[in-house]
Structure formats: structure tokens, C-alpha cells
Amino acid sequence: MTESGGETAYAPFDLTGKVALVTGGNGGIGLGMAEGLARAGAAVAVWGRDRAKLEKAAARLTRCGVGVHTAVVDVSDPDAVTSAVEETVGCLGRIDAVFANAGVGGRTRFLELDAAELHRVMAIDLDGALWTLREVARHMVARAGAGDPGGSLVTVSSVSAIRGAPTLQSYAAAKGALVSVTRGLAVEFGRHGIRANTIIPGWIHTEMTERSFDRPDVQEAILKRVPLRRWGTSDDFAGLAVYLTSDASAYHTGDTLIVDGGYTVS
């Protein structure tokens, strides 16, 4: 426990001794989650494909005073993921939570969609998440068999999984599949104390949405449908990442948590 203002902070949110892995954690939502985890005391592993961005993320996270490990990983390559999980466990000792966040955008008119574009999006947004979750779950199950059960598997989906949007069919297909995959994981691995949940972000200002953010007409169309009247930021995911990693969420599994400023209920 820690003391703050004369009061004792809620102990389950203290992540000291825990290790979290965030794929695509060198920017956007992923970096917001990674920083929240580090500030709560967790050692953090960040995977990405851009080495320069990884180095910047590492410098930022290291200032939180926790262990930090980064790796250049193409999550669409199952062998690379297997090796990267082994490396991460070797460096940080364990993985208590994984956030399968790595993703690419995909906006193509449906009548012009071809196999190459579909496979490009699926390879990262769906396959990459599956390979990551599989290898981390393998580690967690082995740990449970050795008398140390528990763990948190988290997928990062998109509001396009639950709200229709033109030209986003390939992206929505991948992100929608993650919701179903995660529910299956919650059922299959619950006996090992492993939880699985999905985060669904709404309109968040990141590099992926920069072009939309810079268009006044898009800004107006979006903001009038968001009750909180602002775009989300990467910081809006820090607390949720801490919660899903922490013991406070020990009985929370199979859920879909929407972080969209009220967009989907407006």
C-alpha cells in the first residue's frame, strides 16, 4: 500500500511485482496503456515495428522507475511472436497481463476490396493478436501448472466492430472477430485463473486517425455525436489498463469494455 494525502491508496491497484506486455505500445493507445501500467508500478514490455519509436517509448517509460523491455516484432509472424514471448519472459521473468493492441488501419471501398488488402489487415489485426495471445496464454498455463495461477488477456478492438461504417469492412471484420475470440479465451482458460476481456475504443486521436482529426467537417460530424464533446486520448486508457492488470479485476472476465465518450449510446 502507498500513502497519499494521509489516506491509504487502494492496494489492488498497486502493480508492483507484475509484468505487462503491450503490443503496438510505442505510440497511441498502446503507449497510453503502457505508461499507466508503469506509473502503477508494473514492469512493462513494449513491442512494435519502428525501432526509433520504441526507443522513445522506452525512454519515457523508464522515467517511471520500472523495468522496461522493448522488441521489434512483426506479430503477423507466429515464429517471431513465439521467440519474442520467450525473450520477454527471459528479460522480465514473467507476463501477468498482455494487451494485444498492435494494429493497422484499413479503409477501402468494399467493391474495390481485394485479397491482398484483406490479408494485409487481417494478418496484423486478427492473426497477430491470436499468435500473441496464444503464446502468452501458453506461458500463463504453464505457470498455473507450477502453482502460480492467474493472468489477464486483453484484446483491443474498435467501435467499428459494433457500429457500421462504410469502407471499413476488412478492419471491422478483424476487430469484430477479436470480441468473439476473447469470449472463447475467457471460457477456455478460466480454470487456470486467467481472465480475458476486450477494450473497444471510440474516436481516439492517434496517428491512425490523424487525417480525420485534421478535417473540420469530420470533427464536426463526430463531436456532435459524442456526449463528452471531445475526442479520446491515449491517456484515457491508462486507468483501464491498470484495472485489467490488477487484482481489482480478479473476477471480471469475458467482458467488452467500451471507451468512447458515450458515442455508441448517443
- Kindly name the residue from 10, 171, 243, 251 that is annotated as catalytic: 171
Show contacts of 109-115: CB within 8 Å, 24+ apart: 109/166, 109/167, 110/166, 110/167, 110/169, 113/169, 113/170
Which string of DSSP letters, residue by residue, matches 119-169? HHHHIIIIIIHHHHHHHHHHHHHHHHHTT---EEEEEE--GGGTS--TT-H
Tell me how far CA of residue 193 lies from CA of 21, 129, 147, 217, 247, in angstroms: 18, 21, 11, 47, 11
251 is catalytic: no
Q: Tell me the whole-structure pTM to 2 decimals.
A: 0.93
Which residue segments constitute the domains of the chain, with CATH numbers given?
9-265 (3.40.50.720)
Check if the beta carbon of residue 131 is closer than 8 Å to that of residue 81: yes
Encode the chain (266 residues) as per-residue pLDDT tens digits: 445 455 677 888 999 999 999 999 999 999 999 999 999 999 999 999 999 999 999 999 999 999 999 999 999 999 999 999 999 999 999 999 999 999 998 888 999 999 999 999 999 999 999 999 999 999 999 999 999 999 999 999 999 999 888 888 999 999 999 999 999 999 999 999 999 999 999 988 877 766 776 788 877 888 888 999 998 999 999 999 999 999 999 999 999 999 999 999 98
